[in-house]
Amino acid sequence: MASGVSGCAGNLSALDPAGPNAASTALLWWVMLAGSSAIFLFVSALLALALLKPGLGANVPPKRWLVWGGLAFPGVVLSALLVFALATGERLLPHPGTQAYTVEALPEQWLWRFRYPGGGESVGTLHIPAGQPVDVRVIGTDVIHSFWVPRLGGKIDAIPGHVNTIRLTADRPGSYGGVCSEFCGTGHTGMIFTALAHEAEGFEAALAAVLSGEAPR
C-alpha cells in the first residue's frame, strides 16, 4: 500500500528500524522534524498575516517581536530538541558493564573486513547474534571511512590510527544492508556490506560453519 512515507522503507532506511538502537535514532529524526516544522509553521503564519493583513501587528513594539518571536520561541524549541538529542545519544553509547558481543571492523579501499573473537575473519558480511547487543570496534586503516548499518544503529567514522566503537542490536534474525557513509575514493559507491543476524542460540555454530567454509560467507 502506497503512503506518503513509502520511500522511507527499505534495507538501507534509518526510518525502518530493526533494533532498539536504530529505533532511538529514528525517533530522534521524527522529533527533530516535528520541532523544525513547528518553527517553520509559526514563521509562515506570521508571514501570511503580514501579507494578508498589513499593519495587524503595528501596535506591537519591534523589540517584543524580536524577543518573543525571534529568540524565545525558537530558543525553547531548539533547547528541548538539544536535550532530547543528547539523552538519545547517551543511550546509544556502548557503556561499560553491559554484556555485548564484540567484533572488529577494518575498512579498506574498498571493502569491509570483520574479525571475530578467536581470530576468525569474514569479508563483506558481518555476522552477529540477534537479540543481543553487539559492539563493533571500527579500526581506522588507510583513509577516513564511516561504518553504518541504518536499520540497526547509528554511524561512526573510521579514522586512521584510531578505534571507535558503536553498538548495534538486531531485534530478529535477518539480513541488513551496510555502507561506508564517508566518501573515500573512486570505489566508494561499491563499498557496501551485509550485517547478517543469526538466531542467538545457534550463533556460534553458524559462525563456525561460515568461517570454516562450510556455509556461504
Residues found in the chain: 217
- Please tell me the distance from the alpha carbon of residue 25 to that of residue 214, in angstroms, as a whole number: 36
Could you tell me the residue ranges of all domains in the chain?
Answer: 16-92, 101-211
In this prediction, residue 23 carries a pLDDT of: 92
**105, 114 in Cβ contact below 8 A?**
yes
- Return the CATH number of 101-211, one of 3.30.465.10, 2.60.40.420, 3.20.20.70, 2.40.30.40: 2.60.40.420
Within 13 A of 189's CA, how many CA atoms are on the CB side?
1
Q: Which residue, 11, 14, 13, is CA-closest to 22?
A: 14
Tens-digit pLDDT profile for residues 17-49: 999 999 998 999 998 898 888 888 888 988 898
Cβ-based neighbours of 111, under 8 Å, separated by 6 or more: 123, 124, 191, 193
> Which residue intervals of the chain are DSSP H helices?
20-52, 62-64, 73-92, 203-211
Handedness of CA 168, 171, 173, 177 (dihedral sign): negative
pLDDT at 160: 94
How confident is the model at residue 52, as a pLDDT? Answer: 87
Output 180 or 7, whichever has higher pLDDT. 180
**Poorest-pLDDT segment among 60-64, 84-88, 115-119:** 60-64
Over pLDDT 90: what percentage of the chain? Answer: 48
End-to-end CA distance of the chain: 34
Percent residues over pLDDT 70 in the chain: 93
Stated pTM of the model: 0.81
Rounded to whole angstroms, how far apart are CA atoms 158 and 138? 6
Tell which wins on pLDDT, 118 or 216: 118
Angstrom distances, CA of residue 126 to CA of 6, 105, 136, 154, 168 = 28, 8, 10, 16, 12
pLDDT classification of 179: cutoffs 50, 70, 90:
very high
pLDDT reading at 145 higher than 70? yes
What is the C-alpha to C-alpha distance for residues 125 and 195, in angstroms, rounded to an integer?
6
- Mean pLDDT score across all residues of the chain: 87
Place of cell 554511524: 155
